[in-house]
Amino acid sequence: MIIELFGPPGAGKTTFARALAARLREQGHTVDLILSHRPAECSPSEISSSDFQAQQLSWVIRRLARPFVEILTMARHPFALAHDVREARKLIKMMPPSHSLWSLRLAQYLSRLSRAWFQASNTDHIVLFDQAFVQAVCSLALLCGVTDEFLISHALDEIPQSDLRVLLYAPAEIVEARLRDRQRIESRMERLLEMNLATSLKSLAIIGCLHELLGKKGRRVTNAASLDQHSLQEAVERVEKQITAQFSMVQRGAA
């Protein structure tokens, strides 16, 4: 069973994914948690200045090196790699980013995501992505400036389908505040690897469009929020119960 989260930057996708995976494991489920590139965030006030700077440098190095390491790993399986690259190129050709650097980065990311998705589809347990193909469509729409619902809808038809989609939503003012806090603790190099604030805030409209289009296509979306500890706990418990019920049905069907 594959579950993917999507939502605007700063909505709390990774935080929610970690909490949901922990809850599912407490209930006895085997869960693979597939996280995006973002490391666990912490405030510089929580650690010393020298340690925080060292962690920032380490995060940047790992983030820059990760695509190349994973591409080399996938190169051991050339047929799988060719399929993954084709899937990435197909999406990028539909909605090409305006900047060649973003095209390269997204091609690498989508190739890695395709490989992880293929592996997840061949498991008999729960695999949870803190972001995956729906989020990738959002990123492509943002970076190529697409507002054409028909094109976005077509992209949604081309991506692999998860068993459950969870939308992490937060009001615009909370998203902006979180993104500004994030920028304050990021190094200059890290900022170069992120969308700027204005572009990130535009994702709110794209996410709304994706949610509406998925509904029209009959693809179920569960809403969740991670605004504070209370809303996080309530959403995790509710989504866990839904996943448990759906996973039980899948297992009974397989039997």
Mean pLDDT by 10 residues, the chain (255 residues): 96 96 96 76 41 49 53 51 70 88 86 91 95 95 87 94 96 94 77 79 94 95 95 97 92 70
Give me the phi and psi of 233, to 5 degrees please: -65, -45
The pLDDT score that the predictor gives to residue 56 is 47
**Residue 96 to residues 20, 114, 139, 186, Cα–Cα distance (Å):** 33, 18, 11, 27
The pLDDT score that the predictor gives to residue 155 is 94
Give me the phi and psi of 128, to 5 degrees please: -115, 120
The pLDDT score that the predictor gives to residue 84 is 64
The pLDDT score that the predictor gives to residue 48 is 41
The pLDDT score that the predictor gives to residue 45 is 39
d(CA 87, CA 76): 18
The pLDDT score that the predictor gives to residue 79 is 45
The pLDDT score that the predictor gives to residue 39 is 41
Contacts of residue 67, Cβ cutoff 8 Å, sequence gap at least 6: 105, 108, 109, 112
